[in-house]
Amino acid sequence: MGHPCGRSHTVKASCVRPGCNKPSWNGQVGEYCNSECRPRCLAAGCSKPTWNGQSSTFCSQRCGKVATKPQSTAVCIRPKCGMPSWNGKPGEYCSRACRRGIVAASGGVVSTVEMPCLRPGCGKPIVKGDLGNYCSHSCRNTDPPICMRLGCGKPTCSGRLDDYCSKTCRDCRSCVRPGCGKPTWNGSSNEFCSRRCRNWGPPSVPVTASSPSAWKGGPAPVLLEILTPKVVQQFQNFINATHKGPPNNWTRDRGCVIHGVGYASCSLRCAYANKVPVPIGYKVVQVEMNLNPVLWAEYIKARALIVQECKANDPSQLLRYTDVPLETSVFSQLGRAVGAEPLCTGCNEWRLLHGTTRRACEGICASNFSVALAGSGATWKPTGGGKGMPLYGNGIYLAERITKADEYAMPEGPNRDHFCALVCRVVGGRSRVVTKNVNLGEVAALQQEVATGVCHSVVADRVTILHKPFKEVVLYNTEQVFPEFVITYRRL
């Protein structure tokens, strides 16, 4: 029926939130007007929108696990931690990270730096409890009492302990590092703006133009070159074993001789007729070990949670845990002579490869992968697009063979004959093995399974049934990946 006035009118769909009559953001039925109207996460203290826009759910898999995890009164025995013990029993640590003293669990922030005493010139770490933000009773009781804001040093306005010198200090929510000025990461006082600023050193060290916290790319990774010939030979054996020779060892991501890699106008027929030759082998030039304690602490905490879930193997789970062997599974002891921990069993922990540029390797070793960059490498891209759509959505794509990882490596060095690849330690947990081509709907279903805890990773087995050259492993959580080694090599 037409409008009573006789004129035609365009009726826009309204926001689905009860009580909100604003138009939906895209004019479609069943949508919200903006992100503020979307339902919020059920987890206490979390105000983020739910992951799928529906009510009575969480914003992420992590929030769901924390909210549904049974509460235990047993806490970690490491001083100043306060987190629940890993198995709910007294006299235990919360994780291997706490047992080794790698992290200071305070509000979930991983750090290798203790907060210093408020007393100017002291610099000793504080002792929690009745001492507040001081290292000792002598520092606390020295006159005059000092402002509670780190780095201030002025006497309190009231002359009492645990007070501020002014309203400005009391209401300040800026990073405690002098010269930074950015808002604190959680909006609270006496905090840093980011992990990068926190790990730069004590708050008494100011930010300068040469400070890692001031660098655009973040702090330089701690990469230690391995010089032991026997260990380097182990990595050469690792590369030899994971190289796949002809036939069937070329994919479109390696590129076309005429058009190169990822060129939208290059048809599949053209790429097959003008294949870039696949190297017959690889020679390891250099091996470096990543000593980033922050990423390692995040990884082992994520691994500990996944190990517990895999061991429980609850029959009510839609997907039960099973071991998924890959080509690299036999190298569980790789790098043990230089301190690398052997792979854990019962949780599908693998060492996998990721080819990229040297600069990207250093960035990943410093701050881990960025899921948002998926598809920006050698992935085929549509006309005019700067990014392609990966087969299984945005995630971290890792290969079991150096031949596949090498497709995404770029020439480096003075002679442009060096290439780089990361050897990553990965915990796959309950892995969903996919042996067929998937459409966009099935990709969304896979991502939903990971978000809801049905599985922890996706193993794209494109070899068994589809007879493609390579398998890949896809993860959607950066904490399940630790970039352990950087390999520099030459193509043969």
pLDDT, residue 262, reads 66
The pLDDT tens digits for 418-440 are 999 999 999 999 999 999 988 88
113 located within any domain: no
Q: DSSP character for 265?
A: T
Containing domain of residue 410, as a range?
A: 223-491
CATH code at 397?
Answer: 3.90.228.10
Predicted TM-score of the model (pTM): 0.56
pLDDT, residue 270, reads 85
Place of tokens 């001081």: 134
Helical H segments across 246-340, by residue range: 268-273, 293-312
Query: What's phi and psi for 241, nearest 5 deg?
Result: -70, -25
Residue among 492, 433, 423 nearest 460 (CA): 433
Please determine, for residue 130, whether its predicted confidence score (pLDDT) is greater than 80.
no
The DSSP result for 375-444, as a single string, is TSSSS---TT-SS---TT-SSEEEESSHHHHGGG---BTTTT-BEEEEEEEEE--SEEEE-S---HHHHH
Q: Please, what sign has the CA dihedral across residues 204, 210, 211, 215? A: positive
Please determine, for residue 183, whether its predicted confidence score (pLDDT) is greater than 70.
yes
CA–CA dist 259, 276 (Å, integer)? 10
pLDDT, residue 430, reads 92
457 located within any domain: yes
Lowest mean pLDDT among 357-366, 372-381, 404-413, 463-472: 372-381
Please determine, for residue 297, whether its predicted confidence score (pLDDT) is greater than 50.
yes
Query: What's phi and psi for 293, nearest 5 deg?
Result: -70, -25
109 located within any domain: no
Cβ atoms within 10 Å of 325's Cβ, excluding its own: 10
The side-by-side arrangement of strands in the sheet containing 471-475 is 223-225, 282-290, 481-491, 419-427, 349-356, 396-399, 471-475, 457-461, 431-434
CA–CA dist 337, 340 (Å, integer)? 7
> Left, alpha or beta for 242 (phi > 0: left; psi -120 to 50: alpha)?
alpha
253 located within any domain: yes
Mean pLDDT within 333-356: 91
459 located within any domain: yes
Residue among 248, 251, 242 nearest 379 (CA): 251
pLDDT, residue 253, reads 83
Residue among 307, 311, 348 nearest 326 (CA): 348
CA–CA dist 5, 451 (Å, integer)? 50
The pLDDT tens digits for 196-241 are 666 555 555 555 544 444 433 444 457 888 888 999 999 999 999 9
Mean pLDDT within 228-255: 91
Contacts with 185 (C-beta within 8 Å, 6 or more apart), sequence order: 109, 191, 192, 193, 194, 195
Please determine, for residue 149, whether its predicted confidence score (pLDDT) is greater than 80.
no
Mean pLDDT within 26-36: 76
Please determine, for residue 173, whether its predicted confidence score (pLDDT) is greater than 90.
no
Q: What's the Cα-to-Cα distance from 449 to each of 170, 193, 213, 418, 453, rounded to whole Å?
A: 45, 33, 37, 39, 6
218 located within any domain: no
59 located within any domain: no
Helical H segments across 209-345, by residue range: 229-242, 268-273, 293-312
pLDDT, residue 400, reads 95
The pLDDT tens digits for 358-394 are 989 988 998 888 876 655 554 545 544 555 567 888 8
463 located within any domain: yes
Q: For residue 110, what pLDDT band results from cuts at 50, 70 and 90?
A: very low
Number of domains present in the structure of the chain: 1
